[in-house]
């Protein structure tokens, strides 16, 4: 229960001087949960991996967005993390939603969001889902090819269409332009067919790739969008909205990226043009921390080198919430949460230095399935010797993690989330 979170807790925790209130609240939630688990006697599932989510972090990201991208109304990309509490908070914040499938639309509508706040941002749509969108009153949708326009004519003739254009996404973590986006060589033909079919094109959409790192990609995409706006207006369409997609990371590069985008928008699109965006990871990546328990250990003695290292096996892996490793090119960093061998320090530390100290122990960390690819990248050094029943935690696990987890090998793909809120300003928005 979010309302029962005591905001004073963080201030009194004595396990990390200098930690933000957010980290202190997360620490408290991790500690309370893990303290209550005895792996030898607990009920089935009680010692599964679990998340702690700080909804205050989502709220702060929203304030940061409004400060830096005041013209752009965010439509959260639900695919990134369809957590109901996150969606509810975003609804209360007045945000829109980018949905890619019937299930996502259903989830958002089920939370009482008006269909006009949803964009079905999938250029190639399943016919049955299009019929569902039409029935549900979701009108905004993207397209990028001729065949899709015939489907639109047949199934959603009243749609408000956004022509998704190609971008240079070469500097992004996850490329999308190999799959979606019309080149400016083809946009003329697409608009002419839309005109012939008497369809309603109202805007242009683009996505510079997820985890973008080159602000110039936004500038070029805005320039191309201007070109397509002009093409469409010349054909008689009333163009009113530009959708600048997602791609934003929540790290310190956001402000510079946002500045380039804002300047480009002001240079190419007059104030009466409505601007929307489809951020995903920006909003949720840093809000979620996951805790995993050590279920096994193998000692590896290298006789030649005279070294000992350890393989740790934990209860979640790449087929589960660490799906961000293969799909999202992430390298999550393990940290020690609870170590029975070192009971004095119930750790939630920010240690990053000193990994090369000779007294440290080296570990490779593996997931619970039978597959050899089920491994956390790299090896890791901890000051403590870890044992079965100890706990690790990983920060920044909110984006493209639990949404792409599988039930492979029969391990649970859904896990508990404990919610905290480090932002008193958000508290009134959290009530369900
Ligand atoms: N919009 C669309 C159409 C996408 O495909 C994606 C991600 O794949 C997003 C938005 C969200 O992107 P990000 O999480 O990088 O903001």
pLDDT in tens, 371-391: 999 999 999 988 778 889 999
- Pocket of ligand 1 contains residue 23 by CB under 6 Å: no
Ligand 1, pocket-test mutation among 181, 247, 330, most atoms within 8 A of CB: 247
Residue nearest to atom 3 of ligand 1 (CA): 121
C-alpha of residue 210 to centroid of ligand 1, in Å: 6
Q: Which atom of ligand 1 is nearest to the CA of 164?
A: 3
Residue with the smallest CA separation from ligand 1 atom 6 is 246
Dump pLDDT digits (tens) for 121-179. 999 999 999 999 999 999 999 999 999 999 999 999 999 999 999 998 998 999 899 99
Q: Which of 374, 372, 364, 365 is nearest to 319 (CA)?
A: 374
- Flag whether the pTM goes above 0.95: no
pLDDT (0 to 100) of residue 8: 35
Rounded to whole angstroms, the Cα distance separating 112 from 400 reads 24
Nearest CA to ligand 1 atom 14: 280
Tens digit of each residue's pLDDT (9 = 90 or more) over 284-341: 999 999 999 999 999 988 899 888 889 999 999 999 999 999 999 999 999 999 887 6
Catalytic residue numbers read 370
Q: What band does 356 get if pLDDT is binned at 50, 70 and 90?
A: very low
In the reported structure, the alpha carbon of residue 280 is separated from the centroid of ligand 1 by a whole-number distance in angstroms of 6
Answer whether 164's CB lies under 8 Å from 190's CB. Answer: no
- Give CA–CA dist 378/95, Å, rounded: 38
What is the Rg, in whole angstroms, of the alpha carbon atoms belonging to the chain? 24
Q: How far apart are CA 193 and CA 188, in angstroms?
A: 9
Task: Parse the chain into domains and list their residue ranges.
Answer: 2-54+285-424, 82-279
Measured from the CA of 246, which atom of ligand 1 is nearest? 16
Q: Does residue 179 contact residue 220 with C-beta atoms inside 8 Å? A: no
**Cα 203 from Cα 205, distance rounded (Å):** 7
What are the distances in angstroms from CA 217 to CA 76, 166, 277? 21, 11, 15
CATH number of 82-279: 3.20.20.10
List Cβ neighbours of 352 (8 Å cut-off, separation of 6 or more): none
CA angle 236/239/240 to nearest 5° reads 150
The CB of 77 under 6 Å from ligand 1? The reply is yes
Tell me if ipTM is over 0.90: yes
Distance of CA 175 from the midpoint of ligand 1 (Å) = 10
- The domain defined by 2-54+285-424 folds into Lyase, Ornithine Decarboxylase; Chain A, domain 1 (2.40.37)
How many whole angstroms separate alpha carbon 76 and alpha carbon 94? 11
């Amino acid at each position: 229960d979010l309302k029962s979170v005591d905001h004073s807790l963080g201030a009194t925790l004595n396990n990390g001087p200098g930690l933000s209130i957010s980290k202190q609240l997360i620490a408290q939630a991790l500690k309370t949960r893990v303290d209550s688990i005895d792996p030898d006697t607990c009920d089935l599932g009680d010692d599964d991996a679990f998340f702690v989510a700080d909804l205050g972090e989502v709220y702060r990201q929203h304030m940061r967005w409004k400060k830096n991208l005041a013209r752009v109304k965010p439509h959260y990309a639900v695919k990134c993390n369809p957590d109901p509490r996150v969606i509810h908070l975003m609804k209360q914040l007045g945000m829109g939603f980018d949905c890619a499938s019937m299930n996502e639309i259903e989830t958002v509508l089920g939370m009482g969001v008006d269909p006009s706040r949803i964009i079905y941002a999938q250029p190639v749509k399943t016919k049955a889902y299009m019929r569902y969108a039409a029935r549900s009153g979701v009108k905004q949708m993207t397209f990028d090819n001729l065949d899709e326009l015939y489907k639109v004519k047949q199934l959603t003739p009243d749609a408000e269409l956004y022509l998704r254009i190609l971008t240079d996404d070469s500097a992004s973590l996850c490329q999308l332009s190999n799959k979606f986006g019309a080149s400016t060589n083809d946009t003329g033909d697409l608009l002419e067919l839309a005109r012939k079919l008497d369809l309603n094109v109202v805007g242009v959409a683009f996505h510079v790739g997820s985890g973008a790192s080159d602000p110039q990609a936004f500038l070029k995409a805005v320039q191309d969008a201007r070109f397509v706006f002009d093409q469409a207006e010349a054909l008689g369409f009333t163009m009113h909205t530009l959708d600048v997609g997602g791609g934003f990371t929540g790290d310190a590069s956001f402000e510079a990226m946002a500045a380039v985008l804002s300047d480009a928008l002001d240079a190419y699109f007059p104030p009466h043009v409505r601007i929307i965006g489809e951020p995903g990871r920006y909003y949720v990546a840093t809000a979620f921390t996951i805790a995993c328990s050590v279920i096994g250990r193998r000692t590896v003695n290298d006789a030649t080198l005279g070294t000992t290292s350890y393989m740790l096996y934990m209860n979640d892996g790449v087929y589960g919430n660490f799906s961000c490793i293969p799909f999202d090119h992430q390298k999550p960093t393990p940290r020690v949460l609870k170590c029975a061998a070192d009971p004095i320090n119930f750790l939630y530390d920010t240690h990053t230095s000193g990994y090369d100290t000779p007294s440290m122990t080296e570990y490779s960390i593996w997931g619970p399935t039978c597959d050899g690819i089920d491994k956390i990248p790299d090896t890791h050094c901890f000051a403590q010797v870890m044992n079965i029943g100890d706990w690790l935690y990983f920060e920044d696990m909110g984006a493209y993690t639990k949404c792409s987890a599988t039930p492979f090998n029969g391990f649970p793909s859904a896990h508990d989330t404990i919610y905290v809120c480090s932002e008193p300003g958000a508290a009134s928005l959290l009530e369900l």
